[in-house]
Amino acid sequence: MSFPRTPSFRLDGRRALVTGGTRGIGLGAAAALAEAGAAVTIVARTAGDIDQTVQTAKDAGLPISGHAIDVNDFGAVRTFLGGVTPFDILVNSAGLARHTDFLAVSEADFDAVMDLNVKATFFVSQIVAQRLVGAGRPGSIINVSSQMGHVSGPRRSVYSASKFAVEGLTRAMAIELGPHNIRVNTLCPTFIETELSARSLGDPGFRSWVLSKIKLGRLGNVEDIMGPVVFLASEASALMTGSSLMVDGGWTAE
């Protein structure tokens, strides 16, 4: 008899694209994928941030390159992606949160959050998938969602709506892209201590409420999402598509 062998978590020879890759969860994803052997390209709007991140990665010996681009500019995204070898892995991490009471949400805030969290995720994924299908290559698309795509909370109406939309989009993408051997899943963190969450978590009352909901009794950090990202990108998750990987410290367990 022969023992089964664990599928590899390595990503050698793969190309990965990470949006919003200069900070927070996106930066963690880029570092994790590079450490696993992928050649990683990060994109973000600010050239200075890209340059600094790429230099820091170079100093750490990580294969990360960068390109300054606004992922809401789909023409620019299509031009960029059309000029490079298709990416095997996409992490849609670029995101926006504008939290306020439901009764006070403005159209401008609604549009800004939906445009980046949903529309950009949709069309960047579409362009990456088109390239993969055209080349006959398999792939893994990871949409950074949130526990707020499964539950919600105070002052989270727009953000939660955007993440519920990402969850539905991911399942629809998985159905259509499955025959092309392109997997699509969401990564759903709880509150991670990043620049995006700093303002909300700076409120002692809100921070206390958050900690009361997380069964492990602590906030997340960027390192907590790095292993899950590699798992979803690699052959270790080869039969997973249309799924949500909860990294929420038990928040949604009840």
Kindly list the catalytic residues. 159
* Spatial separation of the C-alpha atoms in residues 34 and 39, rounded to whole Å: 6
Q: Which H or E run contains 160?
A: helix 157-177
* Spatial separation of the C-alpha atoms in residues 202 and 210, rounded to whole Å: 12
18, 57 Cβ separation under 8 angstroms: no
Tell me how far CA of residue 251 lies from CA of 25, 147, 161, 223, in angstroms: 19, 8, 18, 18
* Spatial separation of the C-alpha atoms in residues 218 and 214, rounded to whole Å: 7
State the pairing for strand pair 182-189/15-19.
unpaired
213, 150 Cβ separation under 8 angstroms: no
* Spatial separation of the C-alpha atoms in residues 59 and 57, rounded to whole Å: 5
- CA count, 13 A, side-chain hemisphere, 88: 17
Chain centre to alpha carbon of residue 21: 9
